[in-house]
Structure 1
């Protein structure tokens, strides 16, 4: 298709079929959305297995560390105790001597230790143990770094695929979807929500895997050291789960509200700053600021509640973890004193207790990230699950030769089923004819050309191009034969030549400049320092509104389409330029079927056929002279414009 811009989206509250513009509300489906997120990671199964293996190995090494450190503690403690016992005696003799002195508790502790009376700390053995600890922790850290790098790869690939899906989805959505959603809301889902998903996955996935593996490994080591102490440590787990679930249930709706408020705020900003000139012209700055403040306060409130409620989880987990630490320390100390466990094992167990509670605290602390990410994912998947435009035919039809014969056969259409707009419209336009469509606002003029472009599908009847039903053609094939210039111009950031060249792929510079000359853009380019290589931004700041319109018309010239659609294409140019464009348009329309939507009747006097539309119906058709002579609706429009012109002159 050669189009000046996508079809204009009606702004909130305007245009046919307009629905509510805010974010769609739906019941929270945390589990379902989470499953959809996991499916997003499915193509990275191989890397995920490697990440899991690396995580398991890293966790195993980390968990072994405290046990080895326990041996170091036992070496130090045994050396300190051994130095206090008489040299030359055996361990049994030393224990018997202590019992004889009435030191039964000390004797029980010594009997459970590997101690040599009279021998101090074995520094050689201690150095070897510490070297092993250092090696274990270094290897665990190295594996952790590799795991994090692979996790980053997985997450960023998943985010890239998600953006590709969104881009593809936006291309498949019908125009009605964009009519029902503010552009800022759609942009927020495609950018902010997608970025939030990636950040949430990045920060939680690796840590979540490590935390869960750590809990399992530490729990095994705790039971190996002391089943009694392990059971004491497990007492706090149900409390942890209950507190996390309770707080999470309250915070999740706030995250949904937070990202919905973000979408509304973005929609308002995009709308207000996109039309900031009109806002200032009509003195609506205060109203715009008040609306911004309202949305901003709503976002502040929902964000504050979401972050505060979810933030309570971590302090609560720390409190529960400290209680667990106290219980383990007291009971462990008593067991050391009784000789039923070594001091090194108690030290290792206390470290394990910390390692056990820390992942639980981390997982609980990640709840806000997970909930925020799932809330964003729900909004993105809602976009991805939106109904698409009708599928392309399996075997698309195409005319043998595109000549430009367009026929409407009993066509009916409505934006709302309860309010029909076009009913049983029949019309045949022969190749090379210029058809002008006039009528009051809302009569269905733009709708008619949108149906030709298949931006909307007819609800009854059919439209044919050279005898082929356009619904049986691929949209790409259909639109490649149509050039469209809209009243609202669209330029992108680039040079003037690049903007014109957008109308035809791989167009040569000679063709671009020829099209520019035909549309009188050459006189604009010659007044600029860099000519056709002058860079303009997406707002066309370097050129006037009329000059932007000329550039878009040159784009249509370059495409040389079989069918040309002009929707008030000369509305932004001055009278002299309009005359020049009309001459150029006459040349452009030769041999092409043209549909011209116009309000100024002076621009369509030479049209082959003029259609007068009211309420979706063609109430009159004919040439300019015949319609004026008929004294009907067209004559009244003509007289009204002529009277206005006379009044302006006087």
Structure 2
């Protein structure tokens, strides 16, 4: 898949779609819904059967009342025969209690279905977004992913939990009621059918108007979450640059837009519900008028008229539930579109279909005619060729944007080259088994992230079966053991609890210990010493020389003191290598590295 697909998904968070796009998105959403329902289809069938029987029992009530008034009551009054009355009352009670019991059972079955579907969907989103390539995560903000996992899923759950039940029961109840009305008095049924025309146009008007409103609502809802997450994540920068007033204004504008779009949806619903009530009132009045005229003529029984009026009223009563469903449906449809868009994303760095095993890598890295550019079509590495022998420590030096971090991401296979190949011990990284790749190549970045858990758990991330002695040895090797033992619970200190907080430099040392414990064949340090102060950096210089021995190492650093331990220095500029030699030889020369080194020495003075 090309990079444009990722940006395309990012662009889906908008409210304006062409008809073709809308149809495509709708088909995608239906595919997702079908895949969620398929594993629980037998439970769906059970719920449908229970709902049909319970609805039929509920619909029988007015017909029983009409028969009781027209037949059972005269028999009791004229012939003193109370058996028909007792019989119809008994049947009415059985139907009422039976329908109520089945509705209760249906509610439990439907709730289980909803929870099963939501569990499946929630896990799918987490597993899929975690598997997606780095390119997706660098273009799709964390706030939008959180919006998919929280507010969008809650909206879908509300639809399945209440709205869908209301729709199905409302439609079934209305359909059964109309059939019963036609069987009881076809003329009253015709009145309802005729009044169904303005009802149809009213519902269609609401559906079309609300579709765009609810889609816009989901977009603005995601923007609100994104703004909140970005602000809280970068709270230090916010306070350092006094950005609070600008954030207040920006968040206030988004909140105003969110309020306005919600008010538009409320106004639409405020027109729909009175319209439904008006259509229902006119229908009841017409049936009552026409039935009353026939009662006067003696061609229509009073009990049947009462039954017909009850059926007309019952026909329109679930329409408010259907309207609520349309209300929920529009919002949930927009949410399902966003969720299905994420789940349809493909990996830009796919796993190989026929992977090659490399149990024990030596660490020989080779770039062979590699060309690479990001989704904005900028070429970062043009026709790049480089050979890194196993066991050699390479330092990459150059100005910002020269392509150093891009090279590191390609070696780690966070991205694949546009053309050419990158090999490890002669095996194309695209063909290498993912487990072997991650075991052989480890990257330590400037953003040393610690996960919830103990310090020991974080160090053992790359080797979960490591013993405590192995963890401590790795920590000692990078100079982290002393400060870890000084923590409240030592290696068992929870890094996210009070007393377990560590500084940026200490986090970096823990990430070093994590990488070294994994014992990769290729170790990449991407500005990994940037968070260390000078004493800490000097502390790990000897450890780095020991730990980088017998493995291929790629060091990207602006601090030239770190570069000094390299066997070979590559100076990059505009995606090309302009200098390649030992540190000593380059320092003695007059090239770019010599100038950088001289400037660095002057800064120390």
TM-score range, shorter chain: over 0.9
Q: CA deviation at 1:123?
A: 5.7
Q: 1:611 is matched with which residue? A: 570
Asked if 2 retains the 8 angstrom alpha-carbon contact of 1:59 and 1:140, the reply is yes
Q: Distance in 1 between matches of 2:297 and 2:7?
A: 80
Asked if 1 retains the 8 angstrom alpha-carbon contact of 2:450 and 2:458, the reply is yes
Q: Residues 549-596 of structure 1: CA distance to partner in whole angstroms, max 9, x if unpaired? A: 111111112211111111111211221111122222222212111111
Corresponding residue to 2:445 among 486, 489, 492: 486
Q: How does 1:432-511 map to 2 (within 5 A)?
A: 432-511=391-470
Q: Distance in 2 between matches of 1:454 and 1:55?
A: 53
1:540 to 1:56, Cα distance in 2 relative to 1, 3 A:
farther
Asked if 1 retains the 8 angstrom alpha-carbon contact of 2:29 and 2:340, the reply is no
Unaligned residue ranges in structure 1 (runs of 5+): 1-16, 79-113
Q: CA deviation at 1:264?
A: 1.2
| 1:35 paired to 2:30 | yes
3-state SS of 1:549 partner:
helix
How many pairs does the alignment contain?
593
Q: Residues 268-305 of structure 1: CA distance to partner in whole angstroms, max 9, x if unpaired? A: 11111101011101111111111111211121111221
Q: CA deviation at 1:224?
A: 1.2
Q: Distance in 2 between matches of 1:223 and 1:20?
A: 50
Q: 1:235 is matched with which residue? A: 194
Q: Residues 74-113 of structure 1: CA distance to partner in whole angstroms, max 9, x if unpaired? A: 46863xxxxxxxxxxxxxxxxxxxxxxxxxxxxxxxxxxx
Q: Distance in 1 between matches of 2:380 and 2:402?
A: 8
Q: Distance in 2 between matches of 1:278 and 1:562?
A: 37
TM-score normalised by the chain length of structure 2: 0.93
State which drifts further: 55-64 or 339-348: 339-348
Asked if 2 retains the 8 angstrom alpha-carbon contact of 1:311 and 1:365, the reply is no
Q: 2:49 is matched with which residue? A: 53
Q: Distance in 2 between matches of 1:505 and 1:236?
A: 69
Q: Distance in 2 between matches of 1:528 and 1:461?
A: 49
Q: Distance in 2 between matches of 1:186 and 1:359?
A: 37
Asked if 2 retains the 8 angstrom alpha-carbon contact of 1:434 and 1:595, the reply is yes
Based on CA coordinates, which of the two structures has the bigger radius of gyration? 1
1:42 to 1:280, Cα distance in 2 relative to 1, 3 A:
same
3-state SS of 2:145 partner:
helix
Q: CA deviation at 1:124?
A: 5.9
Q: Distance in 2 between matches of 1:288 and 1:400?
A: 51
Corresponding residue to 1:384 among 343, 348, 365: 343
Asked if 2 retains the 8 angstrom alpha-carbon contact of 1:521 and 1:550, the reply is yes
Q: CA deviation at 1:437?
A: 0.8
| 1:168 paired to 2:127 | yes
Corresponding residue to 1:66 among 57, 62, 65: 62
Corresponding residue to 1:44 among 27, 40, 44: 40
Q: How does 1:340-379 map to 2 (within 5 A)?
A: 340-379=299-338
Q: Distance in 1 between matches of 2:581 and 2:7?
A: 33
| 1:284 paired to 2:243 | yes
3-state SS of 1:572 partner:
coil
Q: CA deviation at 1:457?
A: 0.8
Q: 2:228 is matched with which residue? A: 269
| 1:202 paired to 2:161 | yes
Q: CA deviation at 1:115?
A: 7.5
TM-score normalised by the chain length of structure 1: 0.86
Unaligned residue ranges in structure 2 (runs of 5+): 1-5
Asked if 2 retains the 8 angstrom alpha-carbon contact of 1:629 and 1:635, the reply is yes
Q: Distance in 1 between matches of 2:469 and 2:406?
A: 36
1:407 to 1:175, Cα distance in 2 relative to 1, 3 A:
same
Q: Residues 390-430 of structure 1: CA distance to partner in whole angstroms, max 9, x if unpaired? A: 43332212346411111111211111474311112211111
Asked if 2 retains the 8 angstrom alpha-carbon contact of 1:492 and 1:539, the reply is no
1:294 to 1:56, Cα distance in 2 relative to 1, 3 A:
same
3-state SS of 2:317 partner:
helix
1:199 to 1:394, Cα distance in 2 relative to 1, 3 A:
same
Larger RCO, structures 1/2 (Cα 8 Å, 6+ apart): 1
Asked if 2 retains the 8 angstrom alpha-carbon contact of 1:22 and 1:264, the reply is no
3-state SS of 2:464 partner:
coil
3-state SS of 1:366 partner:
helix
Quote the RMSD (CA, aligned, Å). 2.3
3-state SS of 1:340 partner:
coil
Q: CA deviation at 1:254?
A: 0.9
Q: Distance in 2 between matches of 1:345 and 1:250?
A: 40
Q: 2:3 is matched with which residue? A: none
Q: Distance in 2 between matches of 1:536 and 1:581?
A: 22
Corresponding residue to 2:390 among 419, 431, 434: 431
Corresponding residue to 1:553 among 512, 522, 532: 512
Q: Distance in 2 between matches of 1:124 and 1:228?
A: 31
Q: Distance in 2 between matches of 1:143 and 1:292?
A: 48
